[in-house]
Chains A and B, each alone.
Chain A
C-alpha cells in the first residue's frame, strides 16, 4: 500500500471479487424466482384471412389472425432484462413429420404491460416451399425466452391453441 498503483490494484481486485459474488447471488435469485413463477397466457386462433398459392411450384401463403392474452407479471425479477415472446406454428407435412416455424415475435420490456399484437405488419411468416399445407393440422404455441442481465436464459411455454386445420382449397 506504499504507492497509489498498489492501492489501485487492491481496489480493483477487491471490487472484481465482490462483483462476481454479487452476480452469483443475482443468478441464484433469478433461478429461484423462475422456479416459482407461474405465467398465464391464453392463445386463440382467429380466422384464416387469406390462403393462396404462390407462383412457384410449392409456394403457399397464409394470413391468419390470432388473439393473445398473457399475464407475465410473475416472470419479472431482479435478474430479468427482457422477455422474448414468440408464436410458433407446429405442423406435420407429407415429407417432414415435424415442422416448427416462428410466425410472430415481440420483445417485452419491463413496464410495458399492454401492447397491441394486431394489427401491425409482421416481418415473419409461415412460408412453406417444400410440401403443401392444404389439409394440414397446425397448432400455434406461445413461447417465451427470459433474457437475464447475467446468467442463464430460461425458456417456458405459455400456452397454445387447439388444432387448426387448413382447408383443401385455396381461398384466393
Chain B
C-alpha cells in the first residue's frame, strides 16, 4: 500500500468497527438478544477485516514517485 492508501485503510478500519458496534448495539436493544448482538458484531468485524487487511487496488492509487538514479548522479557531477 502507498502512504495515502495506508491512511485511508486506517480510517476505514476505525470507522468500520465504530459503525459495526453501533449497529450491533441497536440490533441487541431491538431484539433484546445478547447472542444476536454478538453475532452481528462478529459479522461486521469480518466484513471490515476483508476490506482493510488486504492491499486492494483503491489503496495503491497514489504510489510514491522516486527520483531516477541516473538523474541524481548527473546532478552530483555538475556540482563538483
CA distance A7 to B32 in the complex (A): 33
Find B14's partner among A2, A14, A149 (CB 8 Å cutoff): A14
1/0 per residue, CB under 8 A from A, across B1-44: the answer is 10000110110011001101100110011001110010001000
A11 / chain B contacts, CB cutoff of 8 Å? 13, 17, 45, 48-49, 52-53
1/0 per residue, CB under 8 A from B, across A15-42: the answer is 1001101100110010000000000000
Determine if A14 and B32 form an interchain contact, defined as CB atoms under 8 angstroms apart: no
A79 interface residue (CB < 8 Å to B): yes
A78 / chain B contacts, CB cutoff of 8 Å? 28-29, 32-34, 37
A10 / chain B contacts, CB cutoff of 8 Å? 10, 13-14
B41 / chain A contacts, CB cutoff of 8 Å? 19, 22
CA distance A77 to B33 in the complex (A): 8
CA distance A18 to B37 in the complex (A): 13
In the complex, residue of chain B having the shortest beta-carbon distance to the beta carbon of A29:
B29
* A-B pairs, 5 with minimum CB distance: A1-B6, A18-B21, A149-B34, A14-B17, A1-B9
